Amino acid sequence: MRYNRGSKRFLQQTQKVMAKFFNKTSLYLPRLSLAALIICLVSGVVLAFQYRPFGNVFQNVEEITTLVPYGFFFRRLHYASGEVFAILVLLHVADYFFRSAYKRQSFFDWFQLGLGAALCFFILFTGFILQGGLEGYFAGTILRNLLELIPFVGSAASHMVIGRGHAFYFLPYLYHCCFLPLGLVFLLRKHIRDWLPDWGSMTVATMMLFIYALAVPMPKALPPGAETSFITGPWFFLGVQELLRHFSPLWAGLFLPALFAALFLSLPALSGVWARVARYTLLTGAGVYAVLSVKLYFF
Amino acid sequence: MDRRGFFKKLRWFFYALFGAVLALPALSFVTYRKKRTRTVVFTVSEQTDHYFKQGVFLIREGEAFSALSAKCTHLGCTVRFDQHKKQFVCPCHQSVYDAVGKRVAGPARDDLQVLPVTLRENRDIEVVVEV
């Protein structure tokens, strides 16, 4: 009896501690991610003074890394802060999802935030292209050809995102440096006001990212002329890349991701059994996507 | 609807109309792309079997030449030629084509594009490829 009472108290205490921990995590995730976004924007502005989206872009990026004073540091800082921002956004979204916090959001607000999260990954994708390596070139080519498959507006859409020949990097550059960050800040404007990082979060994020940028080298990009039998896109695109090996590009590259996004964005509008079905479908989809990514990368 | 409300709605209608009239030329301007081609020249020393240059593979069968675009017909990555297996392989999604560009396996549905070759007077071979 005493044992039972003791274990119950222990369980209650553990639950309390866990709830406190997760509440704190829920509070700090958006603050830290916004701190990473600020560092990413600032380092991006610095890099823009030396980056040229024309000519031999790969060589330009190599020169920034090896020749320009502190270029390696700003590149690493920009890369790391961008990745950290995206990962923290993903965790923040997952946190909201598991706590069903979207129920408190209006459909319009949730839609804006979801679109913002998607934009954040599109910014990472354009950044991946702008490295100028073989992987970036192929990623851009695949994106352009996928967009071309959109019924009726495909050709126009692909022309609006990626150019050809010597202008290949120019439009992704415009999107990466201008349109997408502006769009992101606009979509997250309320969130930014609510979750503007305090000095503590800002200091922690800056310290961690500075140490990371000084200590950890970036993954090396393949030069554009390199010969390779296997190449992978950015980490968040691996699942799509695996799907593209087995299904038609229209389904694997456009319809399935669009369906997933549409289901996710419509969460606050669903209720009852439909809400449960949507939740389980999204969870299963995310699980399958993770498995596909691991399969492509390791096997 | 009162007069003020009607004129307010009318004003918005004209704004929308003006936006649409402006959007169409803007969209045409933004999405216009001039068709560009690139001429790839293979000098005599480069006229070996499956020689790769600027997105084109030159295929030599005896004294006959043909050219293949290196662009994978699945999603446009550049294929590489595996000398041991005598196959073209796409590094992005592993589409496989045989030595003359016929699709063998993988997600691609079409063969590699055959490009017209022109023999110049100085025996250089010229291939025009769309960029």
Q: Are residues B110 and B87 in the same domain?
A: yes
Bridge partners (DSSP) of residue B118 are B126
Q: How confident is the model at residue A12 (pLDDT cuts 50, 70, 90)?
A: confident
Contact A36, A78 (CB under 8 A): no
Q: Across residues A193-209, what is the average pLDDT? A: 89
Q: Are residues B125 and B95 in the same domain?
A: yes
Whether the pLDDT of residue A3 is over 60: the answer is no
The total number of structural domains in chain B stands at 2
Q: Across residues A222-240, what is the average pLDDT? A: 93
Helix (H, G, I), strand (E, B) or coil at A272: helix
Whether the pLDDT of residue A25 is over 80: the answer is no
**Selected residue with higher pLDDT from A66 and A22:** A66
User: How far is the C-alpha of A89 from the C-alpha of A83, rounded, in Å?
Assistant: 10
Q: Are residues B27 and B12 in the same domain?
A: yes
Q: How confident is the model at residue A21 (pLDDT cuts 50, 70, 90)?
A: low
**Which residues of A have a CB under 8 Å from any CB of B?**
138, 141-142, 144-146, 155-156, 159-160, 163-165, 227-231, 241, 244-249, 253
Q: Are residues B117 and B64 in the same domain?
A: yes
- Decide if B75 and A229 are in contact by the 8 Å CB cutoff: no
Tell me which residue of A207, A206, A201, A128 sits closest to A169, measured CA to CA: A128
Tell me which residue of A225, A40, A237, A56 sits closest to A140, measured CA to CA: A237
Q: How confident is the model at residue A104 (pLDDT cuts 50, 70, 90)?
A: confident
Q: Across residues A72-85, what is the average pLDDT? A: 96
User: How far is the C-alpha of B78 from the C-alpha of B54, rounded, in Å?
Assistant: 10
For an interface test with A, give the residue of B74, B92, B95, B110 to mutate (most A CBs within 10 A): B92
Q: Are residues B7 and B57 in the same domain?
A: no
**Shortest Cα distance from A143 to chain B (angstroms)?**
8
Q: What is the pLDDT of residues B42-63, one digit of tens each?
A: 999 999 999 999 999 999 998 8
Given this model, what pLDDT does residue A50 score? 96
Q: What is the pLDDT of residues B61-116, one digit of tens each?
A: 988 999 999 999 999 999 999 999 999 999 999 999 999 999 999 999 999 999 99
Whether the pLDDT of residue A15 is over 70: the answer is no
DSSP classification of residue A175: I
- Decide if B89 and A227 are in contact by the 8 Å CB cutoff: no
User: How far is the C-alpha of A151 from the C-alpha of A172, rounded, in Å?
Assistant: 22
Contact B87, B73 (CB under 8 A): no
For B6, the domain range is 1-32
Q: Across residues A251-267, what is the average pLDDT? A: 94
Chain A residue whose CA is closest to B107: A245
Look up the pTM and report it: 0.88
**Selected residue with higher pLDDT from B4 and A178:** A178
User: How far is the C-alpha of B81 from the C-alpha of B96, rounded, in Å?
Assistant: 10
Given this model, what pLDDT does residue A39 score? 96
Assembly ipTM = 0.82
Q: What is the pLDDT of residues A118-134, one digit of tens each?
A: 999 999 999 999 999 99
Q: Are residues B5 and B69 in the same domain?
A: no
The CATH number covering residue B74 comes to 2.102.10.10
- Decide if B82 and A163 are in contact by the 8 Å CB cutoff: no
Going along chain A from its start, the domains and CATH numbers come out as 30-219 (1.20.810.10), 233-299 (no CATH)
**Shortest Cα distance from B83 to chain A (angstroms)?**
12
Whether the pLDDT of residue A16 is over 90: the answer is no
Q: Across residues A86-106, what is the average pLDDT? A: 90
Q: Are residues B95 and B71 in the same domain?
A: yes
Q: Are residues B70 and B123 in the same domain?
A: yes
Q: Are residues B72 and B26 in the same domain?
A: no
DSSP classification of residue A178: I
Q: Are residues B58 and B45 in the same domain?
A: yes
For an interface test with A, give the residue of B33, B39, B51 to mutate (most A CBs within 10 A): B33
Q: Which amino acid is at A206?
A: T
User: How far is the C-alpha of B87 from the C-alpha of B79, rounded, in Å?
Assistant: 10
Q: Are residues B89 and B105 in the same domain?
A: yes
Given this model, what pLDDT does residue A166 score? 85
**Which chain A positions have a beta carbon within 8 Å of B76's beta carbon?**
141-142, 144-145
Q: Are residues B79 and B19 in the same domain?
A: no
Beta strand pairing call for B114-115 and B117-119: unpaired
